[in-house]
Amino acid sequence: MPSLRDRLIDRNVLLKGFDSAGSMHVIGSIYGLTERAKTEVAKRGWEATSVLRELLLGVKDDFDFVLIDTPPSADALASVALAAADYVIAVCNPRIATADGARVVRNNTVKVPERTGGKCHPQFLGTILNEAKPPSKRTDEADAVDDFLSKWDLKVFNKEIRTSDQISASYGVSRPIVVDEPSYAASRWYEDLTQEILDRLAAVAQGGGA
């Protein structure tokens, strides 16, 4: 297989102005090719599930972290992403339907070793609550979601991302809010959540579990 290095897009410009920021590269997807990839993976079966992990191993010494962002689905490509990961994080909103999606992600993560013939062993790290409401605007459904996530031991992170016009505006200009407006409250939500994720990763590395 060709190296992923030929596909990397340099996005270091986003880190300009940050001290000791390191570097950042991305690989985007194209809808038409994504649909074709789904078909190919489905056609070849579980033997193709580890293909992305094998590609990433070719560049593992180039990066400290590799983030794989997937759509909220349980299709063939989502299975490839789970197999490629060392750790898996689910994201849900304060709605029961999306909370059940987090449970599906956790369950599918547990099945990866068997489905890849022991090649891949991702660990479920936890669930992030996105588009959460502040305490004064919580709904009964939000309380039900909390109960659901606790019942199924989906390891919810303490730090949540709330609904915010500032975040929506950052999507409009295709630049992260933490880059353009680091002093905003929404930026601090992402910073605090990132730190909590790193702390949980460190605890797992030391044998403390997720």
pLDDT tens per residue across span 83-98:
999 999 999 999 999 9
Q: SS3 of 192, please?
A: helix
pLDDT of residue 71: 79
pLDDT of residue 131: 95
User: What residues form DSSP beta bridges with 129?
Assistant: 92
User: What residues form DSSP beta bridges with 105?
Assistant: none
- What's the chain's average pLDDT? 90
Residue 1 pLDDT > 70, yes or no? no
Give the amino acid at 209.
Answer: G
pLDDT of residue 121: 96
189 vs 38: which has the higher pLDDT: 189
pLDDT of residue 125: 98
Report the predicted TM-score, pTM, of the whole model to 2 decimal places. Answer: 0.90
